[in-house]
């Protein structure tokens, strides 16, 4: 379909899995643009033969140069700051990348006539009450600096479609799990904690409901949108089922064969959304269906970390990760002791 695809944030968790899927599906030319922040790692694309340009999506001249040099006709924007806890600690970084960076990419896409796909999140809908499953037409009610910055990016994308006629689509994914996810996220963090016999600091009562989706299901969903989706539309991507964070912990502990006694309930984070759940019928109408249940997705992800200690051990031993973990969890665990 596309002559040359630019994957921004392609050295991150979901982006790297998407690059690998594109290559498996026979897409000939893929270019990665990544700032290589703490969560963007060259190791995520080890053994993958694609050009990797190191740079920031907020740099308009760089983005324009990359797109012209490689004759890009599709941008898939994974580049983002994504961790809610980090957004509470340092919100300005999130607006810079997720809003300004998205705007730069859109402007270059408009100048050069490039189709644009935005990777968003179900968190833009905010916490969901009752039995409702978020529809793509629901109002956006973000409740953290992270989700607010992603909602702003979505609205910029839609404004460029309406105002300039730019070919755009948006996917809003639920909580992804799988290979190459950075250790600040809950499943790899708690899996590696459990492997190391460290306590698992669960926010609040642990009854927050999430739609845990395997990253490969997310990536095939994005491909379905690119191949069959309607220009200008938004599509939810998820497993279509929710479980509580406590259930998630039980699954990963069972997978790595560690006891539930490692679970520690700690002080909740500010503005913690109680429930996310997306309606995925619109994407299913394109012929897509999730292949992993939330249980299978979590178990598969936990097993991957169990089998790949060489991937995550250097991260856990790094000074930056240790400082983050201390700042985020030390006081909470001490208070819960």
State the maximum Cα–Cα separation within the chain, in Å, rounded to a whole number. Answer: 58
- Give pLDDT tens digits for 223-241: 999 999 999 999 999 999 9
User: All domains of the chain, ordered by start, with CATH?
Assistant: 5-177+214-237 (3.40.50.720), 186-210+242-271+293-329 (3.90.25.10)
* Residue-level pLDDT at 314: 96
Q: What is the pLDDT of residues 263-318, one digit of tens each?
A: 999 999 888 889 999 999 999 999 999 999 999 999 999 999 999 999 999 999 99
Give the C-alpha separation, 126 to 277, whole Å. Answer: 10
pLDDT more than 90, % of the chain:
92
H or E element, residue 306: helix 294-307
Question: Is residue 268 annotated as a catalytic residue, yes or no?
Answer: no
Q: How far is CA 168 from the centre of its chain?
A: 19
The structure tokens listed for 267 are 């002080």
Contact 122, 172 (CB under 8 A): yes
pTM: 0.96
Please tell me the distance from the alpha carbon of residue 184 to that of residue 182, in angstroms, as a whole number: 6
pLDDT at 222: 98
The answer to whether the beta carbons of residues 76 and 18 sit under 8 Å apart is: yes
- Which of these is catalytic: 122, 136, 184, 273? 122
324 is catalytic: no
The predicted-structure confidence for 179-223, as pLDDT tens digits, reads as follows 999 999 999 999 999 999 999 999 999 999 999 999 999 999 999
- Catalytic: which of 56, 81, 146, 217? 146
**DSSP state letters, 285-334:** TTT---SS-HHHHHHHHHHHHHH-HHHHHHHHHSHHHHHHHIIIIIHHHH
Mean pLDDT of 77-102: 92
- Please say whether the beta carbons of 333 and 65 come within 8 A: no
**Given 73, 123, 154, 184, the catalytic residue:** 123
SS (H, E, C) 34-50: ECCCCCCCHHHHCCCCC
167 is catalytic: no
Q: Taking Cα atoms as reference points, which of 307, 108, 292, 107 lies closest to residue 188?
A: 307
Mean pLDDT of all residues in 113-137: 95
230: which 2 tokens?
């309607």
């Amino acid at each position: 379909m596309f002559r040359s695809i630019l994957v921004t944030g392609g050295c991150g968790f979901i982006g790297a899995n998407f690059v690998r899927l594109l290559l498996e599906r026979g897409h000939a030319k893929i270019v990665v643009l990544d700032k290589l922040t703490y969560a963007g790692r060259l190791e995520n694309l080890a053994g993958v033969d694609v050009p990797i340009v190191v740079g920031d999506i907020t740099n308009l001249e760089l983005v324009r140069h990359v797109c012209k040099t490689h004759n890009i006709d599709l941008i898939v924007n994974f580049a983002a700051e994504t961790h809610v806890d980090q957004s509470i600690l340092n919100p300005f970084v999130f607006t810079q990348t997720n809003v300004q960076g998205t705007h730069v990419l859109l402007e270059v896409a408009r100048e050069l006539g490039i189709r644009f796909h935005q990777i968003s999140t179900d968190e833009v809908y905010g916490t969901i009450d009752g039995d409702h499953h978020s529809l793509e037409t629901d109002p956006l009610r973000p409740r953290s600096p992270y989700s607010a910055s992603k909602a702003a990016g979505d609205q910029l994308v839609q404004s460029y479609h309406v105002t300039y006629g730019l070919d755009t689509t948006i996917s809003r994914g639920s909580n992804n799990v799988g290979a190459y996810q950075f250790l600040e996220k809950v499943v790899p963090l708690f899996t590696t904690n459990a492997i190391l016999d460290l306590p698992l600091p669960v926010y609040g009562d642990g009854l927050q409901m999430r739609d845990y989706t395997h990253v490969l299901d997310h990536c095939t969903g994005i491909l379905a949108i690119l191949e069959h989706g309607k220009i200008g539309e938004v599509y939810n991507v998820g497993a279509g089922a929710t479980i509580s964070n406590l259930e998630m912990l039980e699954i990963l502990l069972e997978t790595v064969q560690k006891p539930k006694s490692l679970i520690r309930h700690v002080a909740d984070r500010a503005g913690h959304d109680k429930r996310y759940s997306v309606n995925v019928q619109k994407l299913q109408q394109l012929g897509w269906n999730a292949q992993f249940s939330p249980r299978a997705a979590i178990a598969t992800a936990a097993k991957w970390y169990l089998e790949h200690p060489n991937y995550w051990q250097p991260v856990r031993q790094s000074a930056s990760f240790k400082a983050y973990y201390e700042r985020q969890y030390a006081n909470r665990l001490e208070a819960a002791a």
